[in-house]
A and B are shown apart, each in its own frame.
Chain A
Amino acid sequence: MSDDLISRVTGVIAKTQKIPPETVTIDKSFEELKIDSLDGINILFALEGEFDLDIPDDAARSIRTVREMVEGIEKLLAAKSAETQK
């Protein structure tokens, strides 16, 4: 998990939630950040744009923390780069 990836993901979350970037840290839960289900899909939409990814519904459903979100994006980016190298 690179610092760059973390800061891009937390930056998207902060921008979408209209909250100061420094409040979105890797160990925060969505509940602590007052991210509800509708906020969650809005964040997924913004992350898809930021990383040029398709985030499947099933992969997104269980995510409850910033860390899980960063890990999920990392996994999808790795899958995407493996796909393009084929």
Chain B
Amino acid sequence: MTRRVAVTGIGAISGFGQTFPELWAGLAAGKNAIRPLTLVAPGAVRFPNAAEVPDYDPSQHFEEKEALLLDRFAQFAAVAAREAVRASGIEFSPELGERTAIALGCSGGGKSTEDDGFHHLYALKEPRVSPLTIARAMSNAGASRVSFEYGITGPVFTLSTACSSANHAIGQAFRMVRSGEVEVAIAGGSEAPLSLGFLKAWEAMRVVSPDTCRPFSRDRRGLILGEGAAVLVLEPVERAQARGATILGEIAGFGMSSDAHHITQPSAVGAARAIRAALADAELSPEAIGYVNAHGTGTLANDATETEAIKNVFGEHARKLLVSSTKSMHGHALGAAGALEAAATLGALQAGLIPPTANFTTPDPSCDLDVVPNTPRQAQIEWAISNSFAFGGLNAVLIFRKST
């Protein structure tokens, strides 16, 4: 059994606000959610900026007692899932809950929970840490929380492949729906990486920009960290049509590869293999693709390598592709990145408007694609790909189709 897979709900919490419409409005206008970090003291890390969720107040979403059990990343997952499920109009009966999957990406888990707990231990010299530390910090806490809210008793899991986590998760969910293993899937990713200890670790990696994120620009100086979550509701197109749901787009293919090369250096060969695998999975020729939502981190290494991979797969057609990095606006949300970018790509296809690569200044000969610099572009496109390439050399590429 092979079924077409529709997206019937999208939820997102990001630097642009606590809903998908706010994310899309920001990206469609080419705005920036990169602002001075407020979650840590000024000057605590060398880079001053990040894409934080603005004005986030747990009490708007959770009872005080519930919030105690949920790290920020798990709260984001639940907030985005609620918006997506509400938009889909699905009511989960116990029977449907058993035939529904949840697959969420998360790279780091509850980093601020760990930071706080270990601060008590190491700095305050207290002999104990909170008994809630494990339950809050485990990377599957977000997926589990969503399962409680809707009574989802089918396959529920978290996938952790650094910056590819959400694409891997959405891809697995897509395949479970396509094959008929489940009837509905709730898929995406969430991350809340802006805790002092984790920020210091990123500082030491020397890949975070001291000002802003300028993917594909000659003067790019690195990535900008972001936080948030995005969640999609997936179901067969026929099911969505039968119940009169609004179809927001389709997922049409998924490809994975591993570089087996280096723990941090990217490989164009590995990235290209993942793109080819996705095209083969969707049974598409490269020429069908019109838009690439790039991994586009804004690091020297990624953007040049990704350009090489795109040219390798698409050949002459690469010059006709619109390629943009929405990370230039919502930041790099690690395990949530692919999910935010899936939401961005679906928004772009639906609206016929390609979000730009923001903060672009100067072309780089090693990134010589049409990167839609700074200004959104109107384009009616049927098929798009969204790339995620993780540290560790793990690549995951999704193919999206405009709703027909």
| A interface, CB within 8 angstroms of B | 36-38, 41, 44-45, 54, 57-58, 60-61
Q: Are B264 and A38 in contact (CB under 8 A)?
A: yes
Q: What chain B residues lie within 8 Å of A45 (beta carbons)? A: 204
Q: What chain A residues lie within 8 Å of B265 (beta carbons)? A: 36-38
| B interface, CB within 8 angstroms of A | 46, 204-206, 210, 221-222, 262-265, 300-301
The answer for the CA separation of A32 and B112 in the assembled complex, in Å, is 41
Can you add 19 more A-B contacts, CB < 8 Å, to A36-B262, A37-B301, A38-B262?
Answer: A36-B265, A37-B264, A37-B265, A38-B263, A38-B265, A41-B204, A41-B205, A41-B206, A44-B206, A45-B204, A54-B46, A57-B46, A57-B206, A57-B210, A57-B221, A57-B222, A58-B221, A60-B206, A61-B300
The answer for the CA separation of A45 and B203 in the assembled complex, in Å, is 10
The minimal Cβ–Cβ distance linking B70 to chain A, given in whole angstroms, is 34
Question: Of all chain B residues, which has the CB nearest A48?
Answer: B204
The minimal Cβ–Cβ distance linking A12 to chain B, given in whole angstroms, is 15
The minimal Cβ–Cβ distance linking A14 to chain B, given in whole angstroms, is 20
The minimal Cβ–Cβ distance linking A41 to chain B, given in whole angstroms, is 5
The minimal Cβ–Cβ distance linking A39 to chain B, given in whole angstroms, is 10
Number of cross-chain contacts by CB at 8 Å? 23
Question: Of all chain B residues, which has the CB nearest A41?
Answer: B206
The minimal Cβ–Cβ distance linking A85 to chain B, given in whole angstroms, is 24
The answer for the CA separation of A37 and B221 in the assembled complex, in Å, is 15
The minimal Cβ–Cβ distance linking A71 to chain B, given in whole angstroms, is 19
Q: What chain A residues lie within 8 Å of B204 (beta carbons)? A: 41, 45
Count chain B CB atoms within 10 A of each CB in A37, A54, A57 and give the residue with the most. Answer: A57
Question: Of all chain A residues, which has the CB nearest B262?
Answer: A36
Q: What chain B residues lie within 8 Å of A54 (beta carbons)? A: 46
Q: What chain B residues lie within 8 Å of A37 (beta carbons)? A: 264-265, 301
The answer for the CA separation of A45 and B222 in the assembled complex, in Å, is 18
The answer for the CA separation of A61 and B210 in the assembled complex, in Å, is 14
Question: Of all chain B residues, which has the CB nearest A44?
Answer: B206
Q: What chain B residues lie within 8 Å of A57 (beta carbons)? A: 46, 206, 210, 221-222
The answer for the CA separation of A54 and B204 in the assembled complex, in Å, is 11
12 chain-A/chain-B pairs, Cβ below 8 angstroms: A37-B265, A38-B262, A38-B263, A38-B264, A41-B204, A41-B205, A41-B206, A45-B204, A54-B46, A57-B46, A57-B221, A61-B300
The minimal Cβ–Cβ distance linking A28 to chain B, given in whole angstroms, is 21
Q: What chain B residues lie within 8 Å of A38 (beta carbons)? A: 262-265
Q: What chain A residues lie within 8 Å of B221 (beta carbons)? A: 57-58
Q: Which 9 A-B pairs have the closest CB atoms?
A: A57-B206, A38-B264, A41-B206, A45-B204, A37-B265, A41-B205, A38-B263, A37-B264, A41-B204
The answer for the CA separation of A70 and B380 in the assembled complex, in Å, is 55
The minimal Cβ–Cβ distance linking B243 to chain A, given in whole angstroms, is 51
Question: Of all chain A residues, which has the CB nearest B204?
Answer: A45
Q: What chain A residues lie within 8 Å of B206 (beta carbons)? A: 41, 44, 57, 60
The answer for the CA separation of A37 and B205 in the assembled complex, in Å, is 10
The answer for the CA separation of A17 and B79 in the assembled complex, in Å, is 45
The minimal Cβ–Cβ distance linking A83 to chain B, given in whole angstroms, is 17
